[in-house]
Each structure stands twice: as structure tokens, then as C-alpha cells.
Amino acid sequence: MNVVLIGAQGSGKGTIGQLISKEFEIPHISTGDIFRSALKNQSVLGKKIKQYMDKAVLVPDELTFEVVKERLSMVDCFKGFVLDGFPRTLNQAKALDSVNGLSIDFVIELLIPDVISVERLSARRICSKCNVIYGLGNLSKKLGVCDSCDGKLFQRDDDKSTFIESRLKEYHKLTTPVLSFYKKKGFLYSVDATKSISEVYSSVSKVLKR
């Protein structure tokens, strides 16, 4: 089962992606996570993308696609995958579409208004050890500490208020054509993502079990 999650920043792609991965036993592949980890490890990829990540703008399509293609060719993806944060531009969607032997089964759009994105991004905190995402609907029990592994929670640099508006603008401009692309193909499903995580996940899971 090959799934793509699309949604504005703060729509819950990461959390929903992790839940799909757990239930359907397929890897959750977040391009944002891959890039952040490359940056942290100062790898060759990390050095190439630093200039874009620092400004919270998109990494060029070619480089992003190269990274995704390599990841999807790994053995754990043979039975399926859930892509989070890719494709984000029409070029990326077309590139994914052109991979031989690969077809997407479900594209799920997590719909939220911008005002909720802003609210959620300002409150989002992530565990530095296990990547669990905390936010308004699921605060950690101890301030700044992960419930699952005691890891320290951090706020992403690009979640700070200076970057939020431009990231949302970029999302709408570049991702709207991606949604039309998948709508025409007939496998776009839109889910109201303003509800609680369990309600949103229940809608998503129903779509995936069709």
C-alpha cells in the first residue's frame, strides 16, 4: 500500500504518518525528517541543503527527488510506504509518477485553515530522541520532556513565527497544482484535519481500508 499525505504545515502529517506506519507496518518517510537529520549529522546531503533549510524554503526538486527515489528503493518499502511532505510541487509529483513499477494507491489531503496551522506550529514541540510530536491537543505530561522516552523536546527553527506565514504561502502556491494532479487521477481523498488526532486518524484509516 503506497500512501501520500498532503497538508499544510501543522495539519498533522507527521503524527498521522506515524500512526499509519504502526497500523499498516509500512515505513513512514518524511522528507523533512530526512533533511533535518542530514543537517544535524552534517552529511554531504546536509551541506547541500543547509542554505534552503536555513531560510525555510524548499530544497530544489531534483535533489529532493533523488533522495526520495533512493529511499523508496530500499527493501523495507517493497510492501508499501507512507510519504509525508513529498510530493510538494507538480514537478515532484510528475517525477514520482514516472518511476517504473511504482504506483500510488491513496493520496490523503489533511485539510486545515491557515489560522489553525499558525496556532499549531507555534505550539509544536518534537522529541529529540524518538521524534514523537507534541502539540495543543497532546501536551507532554512534564513540560519539555517526552512522555515515551524522557527525551528533551525542542521547537523546530522553522516553526518560529518569522517563517510561518511564508511557509504557508509557499505551500498553497506550490501544492494546489499537486492536489489537482491527483484529483484528476481519481485517488485524492480529503479529510477534515481540524478534529482531534484520534478522530482524524479514524477517518484516514477508513479510507485506507476501502
Residue found under cell 502529517: 13
Cα 73 from Cα 142, distance rounded (Å): 40
Q: Is 35 a binder of ligand AMP (CB under 6 A)?
A: yes
Would residue 124 show up in a list of annotated catalytic residues for this protein? yes
Q: Is 90 a binder of ligand AMP (CB under 6 A)?
A: no
* Side-by-side strand order, sheet with 133-134: 133-134, 125-127, 153-154
Amino acid type, 75: V
How many residues bind ligand AMP (CB under 6 A)? The answer is: 16
Q: Is 104 a binder of ligand AMP (CB under 6 A)?
A: no
Shortest Cβ contact with ligand AMP: which residue? Answer: 32
The mark string for 146-185 relative to ligand AMP (x by CB under 6 A, - otherwise) is ------------x---------------------------
Would residue 71 show up in a list of annotated catalytic residues for this protein? no
The angle formed by the CA atoms of residues 14, 101 and 15, to the nearest 5 degrees, is 5
Residue found under cell 501544492: 175
Q: Least separation, in Å, of the C-beta of 84 and ligand AMP? A: 7
Cell of 6: 498532503
Residues with catalytic annotation? 13, 88, 124, 156, 167
